[in-house]
A and B are shown apart, each in its own frame.
Chain A
Amino acid sequence: MSLRETIPPLLVIPGVVYAAPVRSPYAHARIVGIGRAAAAAVPGVLAVLAAGDLGVLGERPFGTFLKDQRVLAGDKARYEGEPVAVVVAEDRPTAVRAARLVDVRYEPLPPVVDVERALLPTAPLVHDTPPPLGRQGRWRTVPATNICARVTLEQGSIEQGFREADVVLERTYTFPRVFHFTMEPHGAVASATPTELTVWTNTGHPYQLRQELADMFELDLARIRVVVPYVGGSFGGKSFPKLEPLAAVVSATVGRPVKVVNGVEGSMRTNRRHGARVTVKLGARRDGTLTAKQARVLLDGGAYADLGPVVAEKTGVRQLGPYRVPHYSIEVQNVYTTTTPAGAFRSIGGPQSVWATESIMDELAAALDMDPVELRLVNLVARGETVRAGLRPMDADLGDDLKRLVKAMDDGASPEATGRGVAVGISNPAELPISTAIVRLHYDGSVTILCSMVEVGQGLHTVLAQIVAEELGVPRAAILVVSPDTRFGPYDWSSGASRGVTIVGTAVQRAAQDIKAQLLALAAETAGVPAADAVWRDGRVQVGGRSLSPADVVRGWYGRPAGEVIGRGYVRNLGADPAFWEIGMGGVEIDVDRETGVIRLLSYTGLADVGRAINPQLCEQQDVGAVVMGLGHTLFEEMTYSDSGSLLSASMIEYRVPLTVDLPAALSAVLVENGDGAGPYGAKGMGEGGNLAVAPAIANAVARATGARLRDLPLTPERVWAALRAAGARTRA
């Protein structure tokens, strides 16, 4: 990729105006009146709009899974920071200044900040009436409760399983609400006419967004154009509709192109990861064999469903872990609260689940007086074994992977370490492997790849160019990958779930192979020989004693330097669901400062079982990046809310993400390549898995080093120090 390609063009839309949201200061409040006069009087202000000013577009709900959200809160605000009005002005400073002058009168309602309390019969309802299902929705809300989605998984009889156990542990682990902090906040520009709608946005999901906008505006898909440039990070935070419906509806209302951008503080009020409270009961025989697992998970979904129902479903499977459990009963409830809506975030429900499943495995090892690695080896599912009935059998050698991780840790062992911990994460990503690709071979031999997975920094576009270079024998420099534009580009489901290389890569590979097949037919036709007489060898077509480059074939068939060959690739499934199991393991060596409770990270080793690393450098960087992101929810990150539902950690001063100084002294990633994936050349997806193991590996290491078991994240020095004191008191008693 050249430097110039990494610089997106400056987006200048003639006639664009700016919309600044007015955000609710209350977590839960009825909106009783909107005073527009002071804001409207500011020179340069074009309109002050509340939900009632938007006509039918203000009433139409959106949501891919549950249609429970509107572009502006109408009757009531459901979280602090929810947009309740917008000021539209010729320039952004004017819009922002005038937004402060909008006089919204509220009647505060009791907030719902805690998931347990949200389930009490007396809890105020976040949504008074059950919302309709969205286009991709399967789970309905439970009426007259705050339960957004409830998912259960059962197998065998847990009563029998716990009877067969020699040791039964029951523990509760909590995982904080955390913020993606993509460096680039959300932003969208929309231009609506009565017959067409164009949105330029940094979404990760152009085609899901297209559907939502088509439903709202009652337009054909062909008349909705979503254009996505290079995006400054997503991690799931830019999945599904965010600011785009608001920009589009305001544009339709004022008749001008409208730009809406968040600052980071606005993005903090747009989306976050689900907090989780996991109570898990685990039974095992004396030899370590697991007999039964029961888990009850409460996910804090915030004010709107977003992806929450799917997060609940995935959490259910991820609670099983990579282990053989004959009897289990899992219940996951995604709960509405009056806090920032929660959505997709780098392995949905993954880190929350692995935090619990891998912490309790070490607690069980301690109770059985077994080595934690040995306990895992006894229980890991083998290749081909069922993780969950109906899903793809395990497609990796987990025991070998774990041994390789331990070997890598041994090889780099730090003499200063006082504790070591490991954790094994698996997830079932890449749901709905639907993708299409168009590859265009031009008559000069250069190639354009049209695919619609967004480049958010994961490096997918680089890998797609590698795949086409491999298939067509075209130099990498002659291949251009185009960013998504739904007017011209092919359909793709989403940019997420570690699906890029496996699914989009397969679509692009098939499109390149389609070109190859066409080139053979065209070359044979041009030479006047039977199609079978043209063969492909080393990136060239051999026909009638001649060796032709792909460009020669194109020019030859058209009879002049003109035309092109268009390859298409469709993917609708790649065998069983999931397309692959994502494997993310981690091992850490630490020391704990007993005076301060500070955890010192001496080494961290990640392991990703990637099938085939088409680009090893990008794979390693994905894994390392995911590990460091995981240090955040492990050590410092938490969106804290007051009892009244106000976000307290409301800027990047209060909200602390990993910095250079937080890195472990040594940090490396092991890539396992067995060529056993469903993607091109045996590749599997990766990029989310590095996130999974971090928190339990570190907590397990702290427990091994000090005897103090921490069950609440983040592992702040205060918490570690208090746990050390408690553990010391127990030892003395």
Chain B
Amino acid sequence: MSGPPPPDRRLQLSTTVNGRPVTLHVVPEALLLDVLREDLGLTGSKRSCDVQVCGACTVLLDGLPVSACAVLAYEARGRTVLTIEGLASEERLHPVQEAFLAASGFQCGFCTPGMIMAVTAMLEEAPAATPAEVREHLRGNICRCTGYVSILAAVAAAQRALARAGA
């Protein structure tokens, strides 16, 4: 381990995470998930399948759900990232979070942050999604514990709550 230090390959990345401007230096191949978890300590987004299949790392990039395990951190430059840690307001949980708690839409909880982010994005886009549309939308979020039934019940409850709030 001698010789000159390697050239600094890192890029400057300025982005907004959970409403706060962030500037840090990342290697070009750094994944958004690693930067969130390792550099920013935001461990709510989970690493599981590594191949954009399971949805455990779902975060919102400019409001759209993405798998943070398959997005380069540098792609987030100048954009906004929302993770599960940024979903609740100071005073209260987001209605989707409240619905998951009330319906017990989780068991081990490992898929829950990604699931909640995916549901939040879906309900922004399609608040009145039918049960079949909800199932189709959530096919990219795997849960191994619940058999999904309580999760789908939580989604229906969240739809009702958001409709009431909007009415």
Binding site for B on A (CB under 8 A): 3, 6-7, 10, 41, 43-45, 180-185, 230-233, 235, 263-265, 456-459, 617-618, 621, 624-629, 651-653, 657-661, 663, 667
145-167 of chain B: CB within 8 A of chain A: 145-152
Binary interface profile of B, 54-78, with partner A (CB < 8 Å = 1, else 0)? Answer: 1010000000000000000000000
A667 to chain B: closest residue by CB = B149
With A627-B147, A660-B148: A10-B43 Cβ-Cβ less than 8 Å: yes
| Category for how many chain B residues contact A | 35 or more
Q: Which residues of A contact B6 (CB under 8 A)?
A: 43
- Known interface pairs A183-B48, A625-B145, A652-B51; 15 further A-B residue pairs with C-beta atoms within 8 A, sorted by A's residue number: A3-B93, A10-B43, A43-B1, A181-B144, A183-B56, A183-B108, A183-B143, A232-B46, A233-B108, A263-B47, A457-B109, A459-B107, A621-B150, A627-B147, A652-B50
Flag if A663 contacts B149 (CB, 8 Å).
Answer: yes
- Taking the closest CB of chain A, its distance from the CB of B111, in whole angstroms, is 5
- Taking the closest CB of chain B, its distance from the CB of A483, in whole angstroms, is 13
Q: Which of A184, A457, A661 contacts B136 (CB 8 A)?
A: A661
Is B41 engaged at the interface, CB distance under 8 Å to the other chain? Answer: yes
23-64 of chain B: CB within 8 A of chain A: 41, 43-44, 46-51, 53-54, 56
Flag if B144 contacts A235 (CB, 8 Å).
Answer: yes
Q: How far is the CA of A662 from the CA of B47 in the complex (A)?
A: 24
Q: Which residues of B contact A661 (CB under 8 A)?
A: 135-136, 139
With A184-B108, A232-B110, A660-B148: A3-B97 Cβ-Cβ less than 8 Å: yes
Q: Which of A44, A629, A660 contacts B152 (CB 8 A)?
A: A660
Chain A binding surface, main DSSP class? loop
Binary interface profile of B, 1-13, with partner A (CB < 8 Å = 1, else 0)? Answer: 1000110000000
Q: How far is the CA of A189 from the CA of B144 in the complex (A)?
A: 25
Q: How far is the CA of A498 from the CA of B165 in the complex (A)?
A: 42
- Taking the closest CB of chain A, its distance from the CB of B83, in whole angstroms, is 13
Flag if B1 contacts A232 (CB, 8 Å).
Answer: no
A627 to chain B: closest residue by CB = B147
Q: Which of A41, A628, A653 contacts B147 (CB 8 A)?
A: A628
- Taking the closest CB of chain A, its distance from the CB of B158, in whole angstroms, is 15
Flag if B146 contacts A659 (CB, 8 Å).
Answer: no
Flag if A653 contacts B51 (CB, 8 Å).
Answer: yes
Q: Which of A7, A184, A660 has the most CB of B within 10 A?
A: A660
Q: Which of A184, A459, A628 contacts B48 (CB 8 A)?
A: A184
Flag if A230 contacts B108 (CB, 8 Å).
Answer: yes
Binary interface profile of B, 100-127, with partner A (CB < 8 Å = 1, else 0)? Answer: 0100101111110000000000000000
With A3-B101, A183-B48, A651-B49: A657-B142 Cβ-Cβ less than 8 Å: yes
With A184-B46, A653-B53: A629-B144 Cβ-Cβ less than 8 Å: yes
Is B138 engaged at the interface, CB distance under 8 Å to the other chain? Answer: yes
17 A-B contact pairs sorted by A residue (CB < 8 Å): A3-B101, A10-B41, A43-B6, A180-B144, A181-B142, A230-B108, A456-B108, A457-B108, A621-B147, A624-B146, A624-B147, A625-B107, A625-B147, A657-B144, A660-B151, A663-B149, A667-B149
Flag if A621 contacts B41 (CB, 8 Å).
Answer: no
Q: How far is the CA of A185 from the CA of B51 in the complex (A)?
A: 14
Flag if B109 contacts A264 (CB, 8 Å).
Answer: no
- Taking the closest CB of chain A, its distance from the CB of B155, in whole angstroms, is 10
Flag if A6 contacts B109 (CB, 8 Å).
Answer: yes
- Taking the closest CB of chain A, its distance from the CB of B70, in whole angstroms, is 12
- Taking the closest CB of chain A, its distance from the CB of B101, in whole angstroms, is 6
Q: Which residues of B contact A184 (CB under 8 A)?
A: 46, 48, 108, 110
Q: How far is the CA of A43 from the CA of B110 in the complex (A)?
A: 34
Q: Which residues of B contact A459 (CB under 8 A)?
A: 107
- Taking the closest CB of chain A, its distance from the CB of B3, in whole angstroms, is 9
Flag if B101 contacts A652 (CB, 8 Å).
Answer: no
Flag if B146 contacts A652 (CB, 8 Å).
Answer: no
- Taking the closest CB of chain B, its distance from the CB of A688, in whole angstroms, is 13
Q: Which residues of A contact B149 (CB under 8 A)?
A: 621, 624, 628, 663, 667
Q: How far is the CA of A43 from the CA of B48 in the complex (A)?
A: 28
B132 to chain A: closest residue by CB = A661
Flag if A230 contacts B109 (CB, 8 Å).
Answer: yes
Q: Which residues of A contact B51 (CB under 8 A)?
A: 651-653
Flag if B144 contacts A621 (CB, 8 Å).
Answer: no
With A6-B109, A235-B144, A651-B51: A183-B150 Cβ-Cβ less than 8 Å: no
Q: How far is the CA of A458 from the CA of B111 in the complex (A)?
A: 15
Q: Which of B111, B144, B148, B150 has the most CB of A within 10 A?
A: B144
Q: Which of B53, B97, B136 has the most CB of A within 10 A?
A: B53
A625 to chain B: closest residue by CB = B147
Flag if A41 contacts B139 (CB, 8 Å).
Answer: no
Flag if B147 contacts A183 (CB, 8 Å).
Answer: no
